[in-house]
Amino acid sequence: MFVLNTKTRVDKVFKMRELGKLLKVDQAMKEEAKVIDKIVLQQVLSQGTLNIKSSVDCQEMYIFGIWMQEKEVPMHWIKALDQLTSLHTYFVVYYRQEVKELCIYRKLEQDIIKRYKTYESPWRQEVEQTLPHCKHLLDVYEAYLKALIPLEQQEGEMIQQLLQRYEEVQKLDKQIKILEQKINREKQPKKKFELARQLRTLQGDYNKKRG
């Protein structure tokens, strides 16, 4: 998580029953609620709290904290909270000494909010980071998002291009693992040699995409 000034702090603890009525909980959310300890609006990032210009593309950003009794991610609650607001959101799930950070990527296109993939960190110890220099609030949102992507952003690469490259890297990683399993099971030397050749090609593409 980025270290921000105290003006961003809200720390509003929601009453689960009232929040549930607002979100119109379904059965899946009721099941998740059994292991949710509390949900807190931790921070509000805005032009007023950060002294960074906002825009139509990103007016404010809400950071929610969700404390869990078990090590799981309440995705139904996260999606419901994200759908509740037209503002940008970011989620931090806490379990004991570990956290998992998530962001449902959204973008304003022709005055319509479009939601894309959910990006998340692994479970890990909470790490404090310094927010990079940002001119606009949208830059802040993208900085949070990029912190979840284990790739270095290349010079001149837009956020959408970075996310697309990350998806391609993930796809190649899965293909490599499947091919490695096939190689380990293959008994015929000729077929094994051909699979190994395919593996080297995939590994080359993977390393190139990672940058």
pLDDT tens for 72-110 read 999 999 999 999 998 999 999 999 999 999 999 998 887
Of the candidates 81, 100, 3, the one whose C-alpha atom is nearest the C-alpha of residue 45 is 3
**What is the C-alpha separation between 88 and 62, in angstroms, rounded?**
6
Q: Residue 159: pLDDT band by 50, 70, 90 thresholds?
A: very high
**What is the C-alpha separation between 67 and 33, in angstroms, rounded?**
11
The single-letter DSSP state of residue 118 is E
Cβ contacts of 98 within 8 Å, gap of 6 or more: 71, 123, 124, 125, 126
Handedness of CA 182, 183, 186, 190 (dihedral sign): positive
196 CB neighbour count, 10 Å cutoff: 13
Please state whether beta strands 60-68 and 88-95 pair in parallel, antiparallel, or not at all (unpaired): parallel
pLDDT tens for 18-27 read 999 999 999 9
Of the candidates 122, 130, 14, 123, the one whose C-alpha atom is nearest the C-alpha of residue 62 is 14
First to last CA, the chain: 25
**What is the C-alpha separation between 210 and 151, in angstroms, rounded?**
6
Question: Does the reported pTM lie above 0.75?
Answer: yes
Q: Residue 176: pLDDT band by 50, 70, 90 thresholds?
A: very high
